[in-house]
Structure 1
Amino acid sequence: MYVYESTHDDKTFCLLMGKDKYENDLMIKLFYKEMNAVWFHVNNYSSSHVYMLLKSPIKSDVKLSDLVSHQHINDAMQLCKSNSVAGNKLQQVEIVSTPFTNLKKSGDMDPGQVSFKSTRFLSYFTCYARDNTVLNRLEKSKLVLDADLTSTEDIMNLADSMDKDAIDYVEISANISAEDKVLPNLEEFLRKCKKSKDGQRIEMYVKTHSLRLKLMERLRRKLKKVNKSGKNKIIGGIDYSDFSYV
């Protein structure tokens, strides 16, 4: 699961995005109402599922645009559009948005497919051409929540070769408990968050462990470069090939 920061006028909202259709399903299954999450998707096209975490619940008679600036909404829309194979090629697309609690998932649906409990709580926005300035800013804030890399042979080899990022990562990881790592996988981490009913838990986790998560992301990219052999290698559970969203 990818985590971004959308910051404008001294206000920051956390944006979450699944890395593929299976992780999208996992997020639908294990997100919970206390997160105050609002879901975004390119209407009528396959795209990433993007969630904005609000500071308080959104009431049924209140529009998202009354609570959040257009700049924050545009950040979420640009992530959706840019991670839509068809939508990214279009000059403009319609984005559908709704509170997470209005999503409906049944067993007969394909991975990544979702419906709604009520169409009354849907909002529609127009997202125009791809804005690389917005996407580059969001990319700089991106962190990945996935299984810890400490025990992997590749990381230890980098540390042995005196790679500073690897050494720092191993040292930081050695001084935190297993409870503070995303172990053994994202699903277990999200289950713990849901059980806690703490709507700020994911955001606080990212804030507390931002340095380690940034090191983890840099190391994954280093390993991808080192191990590049014509095909992208899956490293620490993350496949850095082109996304295919449903």
Structure 2
Amino acid sequence: MILFVYKPNVRKMVFYFISKISAEPYTIYMGIDKHENEDLIKYGWPEDVWFHVDKVSSAHVYLRLKKGQVIEDIPSEVISDCAQLVKANSIQGNKMNNIQVVYTPWANLKKTGNMAVGQVGFHKQKEVKTVHVEKRINETVNRLNKTKIEKQPDLMQEKEDRDREERNELKQQMNEQRLKERGEIRKRKEEQELRSYKSLFADADMKSNQDGNNSDDFM
């Protein structure tokens, strides 16, 4: 008997798709099976949104947002693309009509030690959204499949690179903020010194007009 041993450090196959249905393209990706899903859960990005058919087994599909975007910014047609893709990659869901697809930010996924491989829960149920899928739309699935690329990415390294870049950007923003604050402090100090300088001369002028040298009396 051959036993399969799950090795988390071995690169897994990941499928990438491009949704071009909206004004700007979006990257969608998913693992080939539940073992790939483990790495996708572990090394997801804060910009990722997770999709899954509700209450039945399906692929884990991720939509990568642009930096600064939130789940409410996703165009409805892109949500539909993700929902169609996750339905098409569900053995049960692909045969059913009128299904529900749930989606939520990656950060809301909860993984505990007692969960089965590929299984996840949620930290906050209120952050889970639902979209109704009436039926499979072959035109949509075929369009997405034409963009499919298979890769074996180093998900851990990509996550580390992304986090390092974010730390560097944050460090630069903090440095720029400190320089701005120092400049504002210096400007206020210069303005205060200028006001004191003007006030000093004003006082001197007032004294010179009151010292008797500018009298209207005649000898």
What TM-score range do you get, normalising by the shorter chain?
0.5 to 0.7
The answer for the alignment partner of 2:49 in structure 1 is: 38
Structure 1 residue 22, shift from structure 2 partner: 0.4
In the alignment, structure 1 residue 52 sits paired with structure 2 residue 63: yes
Q: Identify the residue that residue 101 of structure 2 maps to in structure 1.
A: 95
- SS class of match (2:136): coil
Name the residue aligned to 2:37.
24
- How is 1:139-150 mapped onto 2 (pairs within 5 angstroms)? 139-146=145-152
* Amino acid in structure 2 at the alignment position of 1:135: V
- Render the CA deviation track for 1:85-138: whole Å, top value 9, x for unaligned: 111111121011100000011111111100011111110110121111001110
Alpha-carbon spacing, 1:9–1:105, altered in 2? closer, same or farther (3 Å): closer
| Other-structure match for 1:77 | 83
Once the two structures are superposed, residues 198-244 of structure 1 have per-residue CA deviations (whole angstroms, 9 ceiling, x without a partner) of 599xxxxxxxxxxxxxxxxxxxxxxxxxxxxxxxxxxxxxxxxxxxx
User: TM-score, normalised to structure 2's length?
Assistant: 0.66
Alpha-carbon distance in 2 for matches of 1:117, 1:9 = 30
Is the CA contact (8 Å cut-off) linking 1:58 and 1:99 kept in structure 2? no
Q: Which has the larger radius of gyration?
A: 2
Asked whether the equivalents of residues 109 and 121 of structure 2 are also in contact (C-alpha less than 8 Å), the reply is yes
Alpha-carbon distance, 1:56 to partner: 2.5
Look up the match of 1:151: none
- TM score, norm. by length of structure 1: 0.59
Segments of structure 1 that go 5 or more residues without pairing to the other structure are 147-185, 201-246
The percentage of aligned residue pairs carrying the same residue is: 36
Partner Cα separation in structure 1 for residue 40 and residue 89 of structure 2:
17
For the aligned residue pairs, the C-alpha RMSD in angstroms reads: 1.7
Residue 32 of structure 1 deviates from its aligned partner by 2.9
CA–CA distance in structure 2, aligned partners of residues 194 and 8 of structure 1: 27
User: How many matched pairs?
Assistant: 152
Quote the residue 2:19 is aligned against.
6
Say which SS state the counterpart of residue 109 (structure 1) adopts. coil
- What is the Cα deviation at residue 10 of structure 1? 3.1
User: What SS is found at the alignment partner of 2:144?
Assistant: helix
1:127 to 124, 128, 133: 133
Preserved contact between residue 17 and residue 50 of structure 1 (Cα < 8 Å): yes
